[in-house]
Amino acid sequence: MEILNEDKLIDMAELFKIFGDSTRVKIINVLLDKELCVCEIADLVNASQSAVSHQLRILKQSKLVKYRKDGNCTYYSLSDDHVKKIFMLGCEHIDEM
């Protein structure tokens, strides 16, 4: 191994794994510039409320999204700019293929 130790490489793989699912990428995509509640997300990405909720839990655990509760609703948004950056770079790569 080079400069990076194994643990860090494993963490990196874990991070990319989160981005490596189409439902989650779709969720990140609709959250790029605004927060949305679960049912809005489910509607936009064309998935069930349950599926989206499960995936949001994973995104939350990985600290890629944050949330706030308002009455009945839970609004999700991207944690920070890094998430957007990684998304955008992946986007660029696809464009150039």
Partner DNA sequence: TTAATATATGAATAAATGTTCATACATTGA
Partner DNA sequence: TCAATGTATGAACATTTATTCATATATTAA
Helix, strand, or coil (residue 7): helix
Task: Decide if residue 37 touches DNA (CB under 7 A).
Answer: yes
DSSP 9-34: HHHHHHHHHHHSSHHHHHHHHHTSSS
Residue 70 touching a second copy (CB under 8 A): no
- Considering only the stretches 4-12, 56-64, 77-85, 86-94, report the one whose residues sit in contact with DNA under the rule CB under 7 A: 56-64
Contacts with a second copy by CB under 8 A lie at 1-2, 4, 6, 8-22, 24-26, 29-30, 32-33, 44-45, 63, 82, 85-87, 89-94, 96-97
